[in-house]
Amino acid sequence: LVANVSHELKTPLTAIAGFAETALETTKEKETKKYLEIIINNSKRLINIINDLLLLSNIENNSQNIQFSEVDLSKLFNNIKKLFEKRLKEKNLKFILNLDENNKKIQADLYMMEQLFINLIDNAIKYTEKGEIRINTYMKDKNKILIEVSDTGIGIPQEHIPRIFERFYVVDKSRSRESGGTGLGLSIVKHIINIHKGEILVDSKIGTGTKFIIILPVKNN
């Protein structure tokens, strides 16, 4: 039901945003421009929520049909970096990869891994105004790899950490609205990790940054 409703809502919302953008380009009245910008921003936020709902539904529906393959972490992260190059440059943020040279491959669903780390890196950039986004990988033991996604951003208050993986839970609602956040990104992350029989930990300090620690099996048993 959620997938069907989301799909049906996406087309009219995309049309609303598109026509509002066209109107914004053609009007010269400041007051009209202001209202059109509000329509566009809220339409795009709704589209982002719908896209995340569709993604979450797709992941849940296909959790029993997970497609394991060899995933090259170096290639994965370099491809994801390309998606964010513009935003990294706009904020003058460094993107640092520090991967275990001896263990760069895991058995996982490539599409789900992409969605997992796109969501984490998107959040890291969104809440970091200066410094860096860093990816580190280590072998926890011979069967598990530890992947750290850390930033030098605003951090998460400790009282919020137990709830950040809940659907639609947002720590800073006003900031989330400004950046187009949906409150579903970390729910998607948690669901993908559960499907892969992994775990995720969070270490965060206000004003210093946040580190997400993902532990995944190296091979599909």
Q: What would the pLDDT profile of 71-111 be if each residue is shown by its tens digit?
A: 999 999 999 999 999 999 999 999 999 998 877 889 998 98
Q: How confident is the model at residue 221 (pLDDT cuts 50, 70, 90)?
A: low
Which helix (DSSP H) or strand (DSSP E) does residue 36 occupy? Answer: helix 30-61
Residue 104 φ then ψ, to 5°: -105, 0
Task: Specify the DSSP class assigned to residue 183.
Answer: S
Residue 67: what pLDDT?
84
Buried b / exposed e along 5-16 (16+ C-beta atoms within 10 A)? ebeeebeebeeb
Res. 177: pLDDT tops 60? no
With tokens 């003058």, the residue in question is: 92
| Percentage of the chain lying above the pLDDT 90 cut | 43
Q: List 209's β-bridge partners, or say none.
A: 205
Burial class (CB in 10 A: 0-12, 13-18, 19+), 206: exposed
Res. 212: pLDDT tops 80? yes
Question: What is the signed CA dihedral for 19, 176, 94, 134, rounded to 10 degrees?
Answer: -130
Q: What would the pLDDT profile of 120-138 be if each residue is shown by its tens digit?
A: 999 999 999 999 999 999 9
Residue 7: what pLDDT?
66
What is the pTM for the complete model shown?
A: 0.76
CB 100 within 8 Å of CB 73: no
Task: Specify the DSSP class assigned to residue 219.
Answer: S
Q: Please give the structure tokens belonging to residue 154.
A: 């605003």
Res. 1: pLDDT tops 80? no
Residue 111: what pLDDT?
87
Q: What beta strand segments (E) does 32-172 contain?
A: 69-72, 94-98, 105-108, 132-141, 144-151
